[in-house]
Amino acid sequence: MKKSIIFYILLIVGTVVQAQDTTFLSLEAALQYAKEHNTALKNAELDVKYSEQTVKSIVATGLPQVNANASFVHNIQIAAQQLPDFLSPAIYGVLMEEGLIPSGPIQLGAPQEVQFGAPSMMTGSVSMRQLVFDGTFFLGLKAAKQYVNMSELLQQKKEVDITAEVTKSFYGVLIANENYQLVVNNLRTVEKSLRDIQQMYEAGMVEKLDVDRLKLTRSTLATQVNNLKGQRDLMKMVFKLSIGMPVETPIKLDGDLERFKNGHGMVQAERFNIENRVEYDILSQQIALDSLNVRRYKVGYVPNLYLNVSHQQNSFSSQAEFTDLGKTWYPGTTYSLNLSIPIFDGLYKKAKISEARIKLEQDKNTLNNTRNAIYTEVAQAELRYATTSSTLSNEKESRELAREIHRVAEIKFREGVGSSMELAQAESDRTQAEIRYSNALYEFMVAATELQMALGTL
């Protein structure tokens, strides 16, 4: 008795642990998980942060650039230089002018060797460089901010793409699981019917052929179950990959396609605004960047002005032991203005301006083509939505009809007025009708998602 109790306790604990290891996800939870773990979305977010840091780096170039330097020099041997005899001409020249000696050629003495500098020197300095005016800087700063906007739009585009991908993948897992369960249930029904007809055969009420036909149906359904199980597991892996979840994580999706279908309602495209499409905004932003690029090369002809300020302190020691270093400091302060005026660059900037203008025209053409493509995409998505909606309605009627035919065929067979072939065919038709309806429902949900994506409302 105790062993049985312990066994059931371990069984319950194992079931709880297994349930805890399984991740339950609704569509909303899956989308939130994708926003936090999808690699493409994380990289898009990093791109935005990168562009923000790029703006800061450009701003930094316009702020004061301050540097401090310190140096120590010890002259083991002070370099000597030879100077010509400049004292004799000066002295004799004065004496001759005063008439103290007669005028005549001056005999120069030998060159003198002299040494300049102290044995040791220590210097500390601070310098600052400040941009006063540079047209490319201010325009580049504006372009950098536009670049941040572009990164944010690209991030938004990636979010829309991932939302659509995850949503369709979520629906795919649901439909694969539903088809799998549908065939499993049908297999159980056939197995029950097979047991019943086996008893009827043993009682001599039906022929062996009737039993063999149901066995064949059971074998066919068993094969479908294995195939659908493999498809369902593969769809789950694709789904987990789309949200950035480890593929080995066990999951269970919480959702019903019928409920999602009713939640979609009718998607309307009459009030479509092309500015809702992030692709259109991205191209418009690119044109703005192209215009700034043209202006950037134009302002390259404008002079730039920089201010330089420096201050230094020097200390010298005339003794080899450095005893005088740091006792007395000799200051020095300077400032300067540097003006650079572009004159001729070999027509480099002219060529770059032409390149930028060509790129601007290309992007304008792309924007016009994209506008037409977006309207075409909306029309196609709306047509597919209407077509799949009609197909879904037809398949729903076919499913109900197949269910009714199967119900009647089963009653007739049990009452002895119907054949096993008729029952097997009705069973197969019902299974196929159920699967066709599920697939039609999936196609409708995908079409609704793609229409929302085309309208820019996803």
Q: Is residue 71 part of a domain?
A: no
Per the model's pLDDT, the better-predicted residue between 7 and 82 turns out to be: 82
CATH code: domain of residue 389: 1.20.1600.10
User: Is the residue at 381 inside a domain?
Assistant: yes
In a domain, 237, yes or no: yes
Q: How far is CA 392 from the centre of its chain?
A: 36
**According to the model, what pLDDT value does residue 29 have?**
92
Is 327 inside any structural domain?
no
Backbone angles phi, psi at 84, to 5 degrees: -65, 165
Give the pLDDT confidence of 132-142 residue by residue, as tens digits. 988 888 888 88
- Averaged pLDDT for residues 76-105: 68
Total count of residues recorded for the chain: 458
pLDDT at 16: 35
What gap in Å lies between CA 422 and CA 428, rounded to an integer? 10
Per-residue pLDDT tens for 360-405? Answer: 999 999 999 999 999 999 999 999 999 999 999 999 999 999 999 9
Question: In the chain, how many domains are there?
Answer: 1
The residue range of the domain holding 185 is 22-65+132-306+344-455
Tokens found for residue 276: 């809702």
DSSP classification of residue 63: S
Is 39 within a domain? yes
* Most confident of the following: 18-27, 51-60, 116-125, 410-419: 51-60
Question: Quick one: DSSP state of residue 299?
Answer: G
Helices (H) and strands (E) counted in the chain, each on its own, are 10, 8
* Residue 106 placed within a domain: no
Query: Would you tell me how many other CB atoms lie within 10 Å of the CB of residue 167?
Result: 24
Residue 338 binned pLDDT confidence (cut-offs 50, 70, 90)? very high
- pLDDT tens digit sequence for 219-276: 988 998 999 999 999 999 999 999 999 988 898 888 777 777 766 555 665 678 888 8
Per DSSP, the three-state class of 401 is helix
Task: Answer yes or no: is 407 within a domain.
Answer: yes
CA distance 361 to 353: 12
Is the pLDDT at 1 greater than 70? The verdict is no
Is 333 a member of any domain?
Answer: no
Mean pLDDT of the chain: 84
Nearest Cα to Cα of residue 428 among 223, 268, 257: 223
Short-list 218, 220, 113, 239, CA closest to 176 = 239
Closest to 294 (Cα-Cα) out of 365, 349, 362: 349
Most confident of 65-79, 89-103, 304-318: 304-318
